Amino acid sequence: MLVVIEQSQRQVVVRCCEHARGVGVRPGMPVAQARALFAPADAARVRLEAHEPERDHAALTRLAIWAHCLSPVVSLDTPINSASHTEPDSSDDLLAEPEGILLDMTGSEAVFGGEEHMLDLARQRFDRLGIHARIALAPTVGCAWALARFADASPTRITPGDQRNTLAPLPIAALRVSGETVAALSDVGVETIGQLMELPRSALPARFGGGLLMQLDRALGRLPETIEPIRPLPPPTAGRVFEGPTDRVESIEHAAREVLGEMVRQLRERQMGARLVTLTLHRSDMEPEHLRLTMALPSCDDRHLWSLLRPKLERAHLGFGVEGVACSAGQLRRVGHEQASHWDQPGERAGERSGDRSSGSRWGGEREAAAMIDTLRNRMGIDRVRYATLRASHLPERAVALELEPDRSVPAATPNDRPTLLFERPIPVDVIALTPDGPVHGVRWAGQDHGVACCFGPERLGDEWWRRDAGSTRDYFAVRTERGRWLWLARAIETNRWFIHGVWA
């Protein structure tokens, strides 16, 4: 893929994919020349995309905000021309936009378990996003910039003090200087940074400008360089302070409703919804009381949020009086435009409200389902409403898990038929069997003998040896009693004890 712009009535390459770079395509190259570099079979498949700097910048900003999961200080890459403080010429205009992000990783290696592990983690996360990123870790911004673009390997890491040796074989362009400076140095036979460093420093500013030495010193760490971090927008918050402590529930409810509405307005302006809403009651001479709401789907519906918040507020302990209330939103997610739902057919919405699902139209009650889950969770507790997910384990008690979020992944291997009811604690029973490993002829539990009509098994399930709390190996039998009950009997191999682990009910 080639990203191109129209320049002087011809198309010029601005960016290119890794495959195109491999055949020799470079930014600034005319498209016709770039096409000629491809094999005839590939030339027809070259995809051209128009360069849209605003969209690129917006996407890079979103990526920088996302990268706060790796570092608290993230900024966009410094454009070449602004870094070197030189007048842009026509060829440098192509590269005058940021094309990378800078992360200040000082002190972060302790969080991620070392620099090597930190680099691996960063690469994995970018890969997961589908972004082919070249990553470098260096003591200075200039050195990291140069290595990310001109080093042979990625990710690359150098230790403090190695900047000089590392930068020496790299080309002059790695110093973030203009193409004019690179060309001027090339005219006198200086192609690499190592050759530049051997020249007398006093002669360089007069012939190539002061920016060259400044960039060199920045890369080597002799001059400091600051980065302008991108700050994500603060979460929507709103608050009210009373003139004095009050324990009047009506006043507190009125203020809480107001701050909630103000916070929801901020959410709507950003077209975002919150999955976490906290109402804080600042109580006099007491710790503040935090009333938290957790939503299944991001919401910016003040009526729904208030219906969840009000019961909590009624049960809140006001102490010696409340001096103020504050509301904040967390776990923000983008929500669809609300106006779109107003264009639904009136009949469909009426049918949805009355529960009529037989009209043949597509079910659109996701919001109602989320409201139901929110109401259940905020009254009973978030952990009392769960989704079941399958796990890749052959042990029945570990093959499933109840999670707070739905997980659609399914393990590849599916087990044999399993009972419909699995006991949390297997019931010990006495079993009559001719041989220790079955088949079963009779079962005795709860003081009663039960004859066995048929018995299937054993199905041996070994312990998971890689776990510390691994249980014993078990033989399972599906047994039908003479009364028609189907039991799932288990025999612990080590102890030779029998249990009922489940029933088909």
Partner 1 sequence: MRTKCHCESGPVTIQSRSSRTAVIEALRSELRVYRDEQTTPKHPLGHLDVRSGSALSLSAGTHEWFGAEDVDGIAAPPLALLADLARRKIREPASGGYVVWIGRACWPYPHALCSRVPDLDTDTSLLARSLFVDPPDHATRVWAIDLALRSVGAMLVIADGSGLSMAESRRLQLAASSSGTAGVLVRPERDQAEISAARTRWLVEPACETGILDQAWTVHLLRCKGLQPASWSARKWVVRRDHATGTCDPWTPHHGGVVDAVDDRSAAPATAPSTHIQHRRLA
Footprint on this chain of partner 1 (rule: CB under 8 A) = 352-366, 368-373, 375-376, 379-381, 384-390, 396, 399-400, 402, 406, 408, 410, 414-415, 417-423, 427, 445-446, 453-454, 478, 480, 482-487, 500, 502-505
Least distance (Å) from partner 1 to the CB of residue 305? Answer: 17
Considering the complex, state which of residue 96 and residue 402 has its C-beta at the smaller distance from partner 1: 402
d(CA 34, CA 47): 12
* Token pair belonging to 27: 């930014």
Minimum Å distance from CB 397 to partner 1? 10
Cβ 354 to partner 1, closest distance in Å?
7
For partner 1, the closer CB: 179 or 298? 298
Nearer to partner 1, 242 or 504 (CB): 504
In angstroms, give the least distance from the CB of 390 to partner 1: 7
| Residue 443 Cβ vs partner 1, minimum distance, rounded to whole Å | 11
> Got the DSSP string for 310-364?
HHHHHH---TT-EEEEEEEEEEEEE---GGGGGGS-HHHHHHHHTT--TT-SPP-
In angstroms, rounded to a whole number, what is the distance separating the alpha carbons of residues 188 and 195? 11
**Number of Cβ within a 10 Å radius of residue 174:** 23
CB-nearer residue toward partner 1: 160 or 451: 451
Gap between the Cα atoms of 430 and 447, Å rounded? 10
Tell the smallest beta-carbon distance from residue 405 to partner 1 (Å): 12
Residue 238 or 371: the one with the smaller Cβ distance to partner 1 is 371
Least separation in angstroms between CB 360 and partner 1: 5
202 versus 358: smaller Cβ distance to partner 1: 358
Q: Rounded distance, CA 89 to CA 77, Å?
A: 20
Q: Which has the closest alpha carbon to 179: 27, 76, 57, 51? A: 27
Residue 107 to residue 252: CA distance in whole angstroms: 44
Of the candidates 203, 195, 199, which has an alpha carbon nearest to the alpha carbon of residue 172? 195
> How far is the C-alpha of 347 from the C-alpha of 356, rounded, in Å?
10
What are φ and ψ of residue 151, in 5° steps? -75, 155
Tell me the closest approach of the beta carbon of residue 217 to partner 1, in angstroms. 59
- Closer to partner 1 by CB, 183 or 350: give it: 350
Q: How far is the CB of 119 from partner 1 (least distance, A)?
A: 37
In whole angstroms, what separates CA 429 from the centre of its chain?
Answer: 48
Q: How far is CA 499 from the centre of its chain?
A: 43
CB of 172 to partner 1, least distance (A): 57
- Provide, rounded to whole angstroms, the least separation between the CB of residue 454 and partner 1: 4
Return all residues near 457 (Cβ < 8 A) that are at least 6 apart. 438, 439, 475, 476, 477, 478, 489
Quick check: helix, strand or coil at residue 141? helix
Both tokens of 269, joined, read 């302006």
If the CB atoms of residues 220 and 399 are measured against partner 1, the closer one turns out to be: 399
d(CA 279, CA 260): 8
- Toward partner 1, which CB reaches closer, 35 or 474? 474
73 or 427, CB closer to partner 1?
427
Q: What is the DSSP string of 233-301?
A: PPPPEEEEEEEEEE--HHHHHHHHHHHHHHHHHHHHHTTEEEEEEEEEEEETTSPPEEEEEEEEEEE--
Three-state secondary structure call for residue 155: coil
If the CB atoms of residues 35 and 377 are measured against partner 1, the closer one turns out to be 377
Residue that the structure tokens 């454009």 belong to: 79
